[in-house]
Amino acid sequence: MRTTTGIDPGPVMARPAGATAVDGFSVPGFDAVARLAARSLGVPLVSLVLNDGSAYWFTGGSGVPAHDPRPLHPLYLEMAHRLTAQVVLDTRHDERFRDVVLHPEAASAPVRFFASEPVFTLTGQQIGALCVMDAAPREELREAERAALRDAAALAGAGVVLRGYLGRTDPVTQLPHRNAFFEDLRAHLDGMPDVWVIAIDVAPVQRFNAFVRAMGHVYSDELLRAVAGRTQGWLPPDAHLYQVGAARFAAVLPGRHGQIDTARLDELVAQLRQPFDCLGIPLTLQPGVGLLKVAAAELRGGDPLRLVMSASHAAQQSVRGWAVYDRAQDERHRQEFFLVTELAAALTERTELDLYYQPRVDLDDGRCTGLEALARWQHPTLGLISPGHFIGLAERAGLMRALTQWALDHGLAQLAAWRRAGHDVALSLNVSSTDLGADLVSRLRSAGERHGVALDALELEFTEGTLMEHSETTRHHLEAIRQLGAGIAIDDFGTGYSNLAALRQMPATSLKIDQSFVRGMGASEHDAAIVRSVAELAHNLGFRVVVEGVETAHIYRNVLEMACDEAQGFHIARPLPAAEVPRWLAERPVLPTRRG
């Protein structure tokens, strides 16, 4: 990094506080680009401001410090994120420039003229802005000067990605990589309205990583070369294949291939699904082939490779193995990703999550035996998000453990408050299969001690499917939970395929009959027979039977005549916010009971 004066000034860099220092010449050719802009526009100062906060300054001898510890003025960061050019002939008429000085040092003259041009990579990604400044105002900026600034910004963008081009070829497959793909895509679109882009995902990410873990990189490298060879053999002679990811290839189909040949695509998928013999070991893949029609206008600021990857990912899950980009499906995936990030923030930083509580009543005497805690998410902009939606997202995104811990802490804290107020109730809490591990016991014990609640007032609900998986290991964990005093409920019983012998050996305390059967009792004798039979079986096995989905007086009267112990459903009470539970306990409706 250097600062020069006189005729041949060089670039120096200022960085925001806390940022990593970067060599001023880490943007190859920036000194030449800045010299071109300074001479063409007649300005003393040029700056390349990247949207990560780093800035490269070119000055004609004003001694800008190489490592200025002060943050960049917000104006520069604003310009670094703008997609359009900005020209301010006299900054005295623009409040944003009130305290902007020409150089980063405090004694410098104020900026009176300012212009910026956004900087893009060849992929169309906006990465910053090229700014030019002067201590004197201007009356105009001529078109030739505007063009010079645009050209300088384009060259600066090329310099930012130059290092990528120095390593243009993937070392394993010897195919050109992602930057070359975008460069050639632009060339194909020169003078053409649109072209088709094709992407080939070799295998789902987790499965490909499993190949590497099991067989090593030598095997996976040979596999990639074999997939590339088959794909190149399928491509038209004038099309080139690129490696655009660890296990992903892409190509631009030449202009005359304007229509999708479905038979040819079926042929490609069939070839890729044939076993690959790599180093004497055969392997069958699960490829996905995605297609996207790209127009030239979509390159600037767009990301066509992400879009075609969305199609290839969807294709991996389809029978046919190839798919054309579906905007609606892509938006759903983007929305899911957004919700996952929002849920992670809600669990750690915000107060959008809440627990509602649905009472359970004893059918013998009508008293409230406990309340089931149910998570609710009130997003600040999207409103109420269904638990059926966000709980599934939490499971797929690995957030279920955090969500369970949040519910456990909030539920036990509320239970402790109710018990201090004299309400002798228990709490039931849903737990997913991902939580049923060796550390669940210690988490439960710690939570009970933290909130001063005896765990015999807590019941954990596991689905039937969870309890039937890995029964030996599961039974060991459940027995440890029972030793803490907590109850265990088999939830949604009747939807799985239980092994009755395994069920009999499970250390569960209660069984909840799935509400889909209960709700159908009013219209279906078969559902009523199922509920009656399951209740009797559960009693014979020693479980306490809870009936969910009791939503009408007719269903309630029916379950009174069965071997059921407790009922839960809208006819008794809807899920209640915590603040309404004490009043419901005091004023709960009088329901018929077996004891009259």
Residues in the chain: 596
CATH for 355-376+395-587, options being 3.40.50.300, 3.40.50.1400, 3.20.20.450, 2.170.150.70? 3.20.20.450
**pLDDT exceeds 50 at position 17:** no
In sequence order, the 6+-apart residues with CB closer than 8 A to the CB of 459 are 370, 426, 427, 428, 429, 486, 487, 488, 489, 509, 510
In sequence order, the 6+-apart residues with CB closer than 8 A to the CB of 392 are none
Q: What is the pLDDT of residue 19?
A: 26
**pLDDT exceeds 80 at position 52:** no
pLDDT digits (tens, 9 = 90+) for 391-401: 888 888 888 89
pTM above 0.85, yes or no: no
**Coil/strand/helix, residue 9:** coil
For 32-36, 158-162, 209-213, 334-338, which range has the lowest pLDDT when averaged over its residues? 158-162
Which overall architecture, per CATH, does domain 178-325 show? 2-Layer Sandwich (3.30)
Q: Extract the runs of DSSP E, i.e. beta strands, from 255-405.
A: 276-278, 281-283, 288-295, 322-324, 353-362, 368-379, 383-385
Question: What is the third-level CATH fold of 11-165?
Answer: Beta-Lactamase (3.30.450)
pLDDT digits (tens, 9 = 90+) for 476-495: 888 999 999 999 998 878 66
Whether the Cβ atoms of residue 207 and residue 283 lie closer than 8 Å to each other: no
Q: Does 548 participate in catalysis according to the annotation? A: yes
Question: Where exactly does CATH 3.20.20.450 map onto the chain?
Answer: 355-376+395-587
C-alpha angle 253-256-261 in degrees, rounded to nearest 5: 65
Question: Where exactly does CATH 3.30.70.270 map onto the chain?
Answer: 178-325
Mean pLDDT, the chain, rounded, equals: 83
pLDDT digits (tens, 9 = 90+) for 225-259: 899 999 999 998 888 899 998 889 999 987 655 57
Report the C-alpha dihedral over residues 396, 397, 399, 401, rounded to 10 degrees.
Answer: 50
Which tokens go with 167? 């390593």
Question: Where exactly does CATH 3.30.450.40 map onto the chain?
Answer: 11-165
Q: Which of 422, 413, 340 is nearest to 373 (CA)?
A: 413
In sequence order, the 6+-apart residues with CB closer than 8 A to the CB of 111 are 91, 97, 100, 101, 102, 133, 134, 135
Q: Of these residues, 469, 548, 566, 580, which one is catalytic?
A: 548
Q: Extract the runs of DSSP E, i.e. beta strands, from 314-437.
A: 322-324, 353-362, 368-379, 383-385, 426-430
Q: What percent of the chain has pLDDT over 70?
A: 86
For 74, list phi and psi in degrees, rounded to 5: -55, -25
pLDDT digits (tens, 9 = 90+) for 141-178: 999 999 999 999 998 888 766 654 555 667 677 788 88
For 101-105, 161-165, 416-420, 442-446, which range has the lowest pLDDT when averaged over its residues? 161-165
Q: Which of 276, 182, 292, 297 is nearest to 227 (CA)?
A: 276
Q: What is the pLDDT of residue 5?
A: 26
The pLDDT-based confidence of 332 (bands split at 50, 70, 90) is: confident
Distance CA 91, CA 146 (A): 18
CA atoms 492, 495, 500, 503: torsion sign: negative
